[in-house]
Structure 1
Amino acid sequence: MEQPNLSYIIALSKGDNEFKKQVIVVLKEELSGEIENYFLHIKNREFKKTKEIVHRIKHKMSILGLEKSYKITNDFENNLADNSIENKEYFENVLPVMLDFLKEI
């Protein structure tokens, strides 16, 4: 499985360490709540709400340099629109990787 990185955030911040820190803080603050909401909605088979949360998390994957995961999650998001959970397992396996990475930085 690919590993998250800060390459995009570093490039985006253009040497502004305060901006870089703010982006990381926002990621940390938002991701855990979004994951909690994801599991609640997927458990209740609320596919529209699940799709919305997956969409938000997908963009955090992009910010953390998870290009392959972004593409697979995009497919998962589209599958949810058709009430399908194909790619759910892959998506759920990426979530703790993202959380662990953000805890370590």
Structure 2
Amino acid sequence: MEKPNLEYINQLARGEEDVKNTLIAVVKEEFPIDLENYFKSLENGNFKDIEDQVHRIKHKFSILGLEISYNKAVDFELSLREGELNKVQKDDFETTLKSITKFLKTI
């Protein structure tokens, strides 16, 4: 399984620590809110809301260097758009959410 990393953030920052720290701060601030909203959407069972949250969160996957997980999130988002809550996709997505949650505590 791929692991979250700061490679893409480092590329965007181009050696500027302030930029790097700002990007990390944004992810650390937004991710817990996105996570909470995702699980609330699941509880409500509204596929459009779940899809919106997956769409928002998948970009954090990309920023944290999780290309495979990003592509899986795209597939999950498309399934939701078609009215299907695919258990395997959901489980993969949530495994990545846990991985990011742990990672963000270390940076």
Smaller-chain TM-score bracket: over 0.9
List alignment gaps of at least 5 residues for structure 2: none
Distance 2:37 2:14 in 1: 33
Distance 1:58 1:26 in 2: 15
Q: Report 1:21-100 matches (<5 A).
A: 21-86=21-86, 87-100=89-102
Q: Does 1:104 align with 2:101?
A: no
Using CA pairs under 8 Å that are at least 6 residues apart, name the structure with larger relative contact order, 1 or 2: 1
Q: How many Å apart are 1:54 and its aligned residue?
A: 0.6
Match of 2:9 in 1: 9
Between the aligned residues of both structures, percent identity stands at 47
2:43 and 2:94 map into 1 onto residues whose CA distance is: 13
| 3-state SS in 1 of match to 2:105 | helix
Letter matched to residue 103 of structure 1: K
The TM-score with structure 1 as length reference comes to: 0.97
CA distance in 1, matches of 2:39, 2:53: 10
Length-normalised TM-score, structure 2 = 0.95
Stretches of 4+ moved more than 6 A in 1? none
Following superposition, the deviation at residue 63 of structure 1 comes to 0.4
Query: 1:96: how far off?
Result: 1.1
Provide Cα deviations, 1:53-100, integer angstroms capped at 9, x if missing partner.
111110000000001100000000010101111211100111010011
CA RMSD, 1 decimal: 0.7
- Could you tell me which runs of 5 or more consecutive residues in structure 1 were left unpaired when the two chains were aligned: none
* Number of residue pairs the alignment of both structures matches: 105
1:26: Cα distance to partner?
A: 0.4
How far residue 23 of structure 1 moved from its aligned partner, in angstroms, is 0.4
Give distance in 1, aligned partners of 2:26 and 2:57.
Answer: 12
